Structure 1
Amino acid sequence: MQDPFFILLAGMLIVVGGILAGKLNPFIALLLAALVVAWMTPYDAIVEFALGRGQSEAAANALANTAIGERIASAFGNTVGKIGILIAMAAIIGKSMLMSGAAERIVRAILGLTGEKNAPLAFLSGSFFLGIPVFFDTVFYLMIPLAKAMAMRLTRSYLLLVLCITAGAAMANSLVPPTPGPLFLIAEMNIPIGMMMVGGFLVGLVTIAVGYIFALWANKKNQIPLRDSLDAPLAEIQSLAEKGSTQLPSLGASLSPILIPLGLITGSATISTFWAEADAGTLNMLFNIIHFLGEKNMALILGALAALLTLYFQQDRERSGMKGAVQAALTSGGVIILITAAGGAFGAMLQQTGISMRIESITEGFQMALIPLAFFITALVRTAQGSATVAMITASGILSGMSTASLDYHQLYLGLSIACGSKLIPWMNDSGFWIVCKMSNLTEKEALKTFSPLLTIMGVVGLLTILLAAKLFPLV
């Protein structure tokens, strides 16, 4: 009754059954599942989980003695702390870019360079390169308004554009430093950062190519339209699409809400990864300023200010336009924050069952076929508790001892396998699932039929690519 896998099954039934069959609001279903999972989790499992996270025995017992509602609220609040400002600012950026015509201006520039036929490939490659220095969710926040504006021109291609964004950003974020997951892997597995960057980049190119093929097929099979919504009314997007170029903001002003946060975040990540603290006072001060402004919350706030300024000047300085944009964006973003935070709370309650440690104990001492083993351990942990980062940390902790063992191939391949395994299988216990689902206006069923298989297929293709490369180019 208290086995972590049984508790996981109970939570899955409540979430999936409640949303798809019972038509429950996702926020209610996720909180209900978190409540049941927390209630079913035994005291000892919570203590063991906390001790495994490095907490003292007193802190571990205090967590286990904490009321269920308080534990859920704490996990809910932690998730809001991570994504609340980001989603709110991203919603303002998206709404402002649509209202000012900035998104339409960028779309016309992309079409001028690539043509309509290659526009989805531009979204795929663009999100992949942006996903190297920037978090997946940030890339998605910034590109989704462009997808909505582009979909007005490319009929029957909205799902394709959404999947192209997620495919590129998701794979780069797990495979190529300096994003946190790969940085943790190279430290734990003793992999040179340059080698991880090149290897992750090459594996990523193969996986997104296959992801693009799947996206084309999924778009033909599932004709999902661009839907009317508070943050992106179809009539508003259509009217902007019909405007002349002289009535739209300049390309520089249109790009500023995207380039400012991306540039600052990338600069901060680059300095942290490749440069030690500067000796010269002026240079050190510059680095500190970039670190301060490049913190993701701060960077998105600056991007939102740039988007609002563009809207302010484009609408002849009508304050009502800015006020309406912010109001609509926060109304829409607030719902997304609630659902995403509930998903984070559900995932946190699953983690407290000790399911990661249970998987670790099952696989202890099993060292045959290490590359696929690393992949499937990571995939199992990811699917069970929702967090790709936790899955990568768990798998690398299990297999880190192998990095110094006598292998027939470089430990780089173990790290890449863990990174690809973290893509399987995104569903309702993953906050990223809800971000993609709600910000793109896909239903839960549509996301499970398209977004979840997309990442799963790319992860499996990544594994096959790594196995082949380890055989042909062992690097030892």
Structure 2
Amino acid sequence: MTDPLFILAVGVLIVVGGIIGLKLHPFLALLLGAFVVALMTPASVIEQYAIAKGTAPAAALALSKKSVGERIATEFGATCGKIGILIAMAAIIGKCMLESGAAERIIRSMLRITGIEKAPIAFIISSFFIGIPVFFDTVIFLMMPLAKAMTLRIGKNYLLLVLCIMAGAAMANSLVPPAPGPLFLIGEMKIPIGTMMIAGTIVGLFTITSGYFFALWANRKWPIPLRDSLDARLEDIKAIAAKEDAHLPALGISLLPILIPLVLICADTAFSAMSAEQTSSIKPIVNVVHFLGEKNLAIVAGGVAALLILLSQKKSEKEGLTPFVQAALMSGGGIILITAAGGAFGGMLQQSGISGRIAELTKGYQMALIPLAFIIAAVVRTAQGSATVALITASGILSGMATNSQLAFHPVYLGLAIGCGSKLIPWMNDAGFWIVCKLSNLTEQEALKTISPLLVVMGVTGLVVIMIAAQLFPLV
């Protein structure tokens, strides 16, 4: 009854069963799972876990004597501290880019580079990079009308465009911070945010390439026409497509909310990787970059840029920015709560000693940890439908291993494997499945035979790339 694997099974069963069987909100299901796991874990195991992490014996004993509620609340608050500001600002950036027309300007500029015939490539690349600071559903809401408008222009390839949008947005959502899942994952597994951003982007480009080729095949095998609908009439789509470029912000300005945090964080990562001797001559610059490159400040800077762009576009309107910010925070607040509850659940799993148990099982072959991370995330995603919950659960289980000094490769590979595993397998228990299905006017059967295998192909491609990279470039 006290075996960490048994406790894990019970915890996952409660979370998955609560969400699917009892139709509980993920926030409640995760908190309930955390409570049961905490209740099942003996005080002696909690004390051993704390000591193994380097906690002083007195502090470890004090932790083991805390009540279940105190331990859950502590982990909940710690997670909020890690990701609260980041998710809130990411929500503001996404809303501002959508309302100001910045995101649409980026998409149109990409189309001018690739041309109409190569529109699918522009769509998959645009959805990937916009999906970095913008929530998955926002990318779908933004780009699906453009896919319909583009289909009206070229008269074909509607399914191809839909799958390209889905592919890009889905992979960015699970691989590249500041998307909520990767943000939680890097905090839990102690992965530098710059490292995850760079590595996630590289792996993401491999995965969306395989997704693009699958989309080409699916489009030839099951051509699906553009359909009229009450919520997206073809006449309205034509009006959107005819919108003047003069009413949109310039491309350079539109890119600022994305580029500012990316550049600052990556610069901080680059300077941190240099030795003290290399940076001594430019110490004032290094100090400024370290200050601004801190992830919370960097994302706030991106948010300020997004707000200024929106303000310049809406300066003639009397209500100001408050309605837009409020709507964004309402969206981001729910994600913060779910993610923090997931942090509490993961923290209780850690205190059960699950990482040590898994370490014993994988002692002889550490590379088995990468497919194990992938499989855990895939099982949780398929069972309960949320990629974010899958990321949270898998990172909670494996975070102890990620910080193991004897690990033969950088923990970023474990994080990437979890991200790719969280893509498998979307079906009717997945909110994103329904968003794409309804906005694209695909039937459930059409979505199941196109969207679901698309993400399986990309997830497995990512696993293969990660395994090869961990062998060739362990980064340790």
* TM-score for both structures, normalised by structure 1: 0.71
1:356 aligns with 2:355: yes
Which residue of the other structure, out of 387, 394, 404, is the alignment partner of 1:397?
Answer: 404
Q: How does 1:46-195 map to 2 (within 5 A)?
A: 46-115=46-115, 118-119=118-119, 121-122=121-122, 139-141=132-134, 145=138, 148-155=141-148, 157=161, 160-167=164-171
Q: How does 1:73-472 map to 2 (within 5 A)?
A: 73-115=73-115, 118-119=118-119, 121-122=121-122, 139-141=132-134, 145=138, 148-155=141-148, 157=161, 160-167=164-171, 206-213=206-213, 242-274=242-274, 276=276, 278-280=279-281, 283-318=282-317, 320-364=319-363, 366-367=364-365, 371=367, 373-379=368-374, 386-388=393-395, 391=398, 394=401, 397=404, 400=407, 421-423=417-419, 425-426=421-422, 453=456, 456-462=459-465, 465=468
Aligned residues: 418
| Bigger mean CA deviation after superposition, 309-318 or 327-336 | 309-318
CA distance in 1, matches of 2:350, 2:29: 18
CA distance in 2, matches of 1:16, 1:144: 22
Cα offsets for 1:220-247 (capped at 9, x unmatched)? 8999x9xx99xxxxx9999765421111
CA shift, 1:63, in A, is 1.2
Contact map agreement 1:312 1:321 (CA 8 A) in 2: yes
Cα offsets for 1:101-146 (capped at 9, x unmatched)? 1111111111111245645545655788x79xxxxxx924388755
Q: Which amino acid aligns with 1:54?
A: G
Contact map agreement 1:374 1:417 (CA 8 A) in 2: no
CA distance in 2, matches of 1:237, 1:55: 60
Contact map agreement 1:425 1:452 (CA 8 A) in 2: no
Q: Which amino acid aligns with 2:319?
A: S
CA shift, 1:89, in A, is 0.8
CA shift, 1:210, in A, is 3.2
For the structure 1 residues 62 and 317, does the alpha-carbon distance in structure 2 shift closer, same or farther, using more than 3 Å as the test?
A: farther
Cα offsets for 1:292-347 (capped at 9, x unmatched)? 11111111111111111111111125351411111111111111111111112111
Contact map agreement 1:97 1:311 (CA 8 A) in 2: yes
Contact map agreement 1:90 1:141 (CA 8 A) in 2: yes
CA shift, 1:260, in A, is 1.4
1:408 alignment counterpart = none
Structure 2 residue runs of 5 or longer lacking an equivalent are 149-158, 178-184, 381-391, 425-429, 438-443
Q: Which amino acid aligns with 1:323?
A: T
* TM-score for both structures, normalised by structure 2: 0.71
Contact map agreement 1:417 1:463 (CA 8 A) in 2: yes
Contact map agreement 2:72 2:344 (CA 8 A) in 1: yes
For the structure 1 residues 305 and 441, does the alpha-carbon distance in structure 2 shift closer, same or farther, using more than 3 Å as the test?
A: farther
Q: Which amino acid aligns with 1:337?
A: I
Q: Which amino acid aligns with 1:361?
A: E
For the structure 1 residues 237 and 331, does the alpha-carbon distance in structure 2 shift closer, same or farther, using more than 3 Å as the test?
A: farther
SS of aligned partner of 2:306? helix
Contact map agreement 1:293 1:299 (CA 8 A) in 2: yes
| Bigger mean CA deviation after superposition, 214-223 or 58-67 | 214-223
2:384 alignment counterpart = none
For the structure 1 residues 22 and 239, does the alpha-carbon distance in structure 2 shift closer, same or farther, using more than 3 Å as the test?
A: farther
1:409 alignment counterpart = none
1:135 alignment counterpart = none
Contact map agreement 2:11 2:33 (CA 8 A) in 1: yes
Q: Which amino acid aligns with 1:109?
A: S
Contact map agreement 2:349 2:397 (CA 8 A) in 1: no
For the structure 1 residues 274 and 334, does the alpha-carbon distance in structure 2 shift closer, same or farther, using more than 3 Å as the test?
A: same
Contact map agreement 1:203 1:466 (CA 8 A) in 2: no
> Once superposed, what is the RMSD of the aligned Cα atoms?
4.8
Contact map agreement 2:132 2:172 (CA 8 A) in 1: no
| Bigger mean CA deviation after superposition, 13-22 or 111-120 | 111-120
